[in-house]
Amino acid sequence: MKIHREGKKIIPIALIILLLIGLVLFLLIRQYLIFYILLAGIVFLFGMIVWFFREPRIEIQHQKNQVLSVADGDVVAIEPHFEREYFKDERIQVSVFMSVFNVHINRIPIDGEIVFKQYRKGRYLPAFIAKSSEENERCTTVIKTENGEKILVRQIAGLLARRVITYYEKGDKVKQSAQLGFIRFGSRVDVFLPKNAKIEVKLHHKVFGGKTVIATLD
């Protein structure tokens, strides 16, 4: 199993902390049965942290005029929405919620150029509720295609997520399915599409970042 680069920063720190907790428990708890049960819990937690940062291999197939899902997860919203930060008009919003069990790599939905990027601090409301899109910590990235269409991607921190990471800057050329960034421990991604886009998914569908077609552009 390949570990994502973000995990290589966190996993050693987590290991040290868990080892220290294990040492303290060993010194304080005299009943070996209870100690071994707690130790098993620590080992399980470490395994979950390693698994969370997994980076599965995907076969990239470019889909011209098709918008791919940015993230693995469940579709929790498909609706017209007035986007206030960049477009300042109504777009079609498709939102994907990532639980702690999903791969948390975010991927570029379509070929193009980054024309806007804005990080904002905010709250840490549960990512599955609608107002988290505008109130939580987030990073908004707008991609302009060669046909002039603009797709807005908003990475949103959640109740457990405390870090939104985006790898590209304004002016960068990007390729569909390349890694856009990463969100740690549960989160949400909103994609804002032109109103004439044909939506290819339905509510509660499971989608996969860089694979599932969520919309087709005219």
What is d(CA 218, CA 215) in angstroms, rounded to the nearest whole number?
A: 10
Find the catalytic residue in 95, 132, 177, 187. 187
Does residue 172 contact residue 137 with C-beta atoms inside 8 Å?
no
Active site residue 187: yes
d(CA 207, CA 97): 10
Nearest one of 73, 59, 89, 61 to 152, comparing CA atoms: 89
Residue 168: CA count within 13 A, CB half-sphere: 24
Strands 73-83 and 164-166: unpaired
Q: Indicate which residues carry an active-site annotation.
A: 187
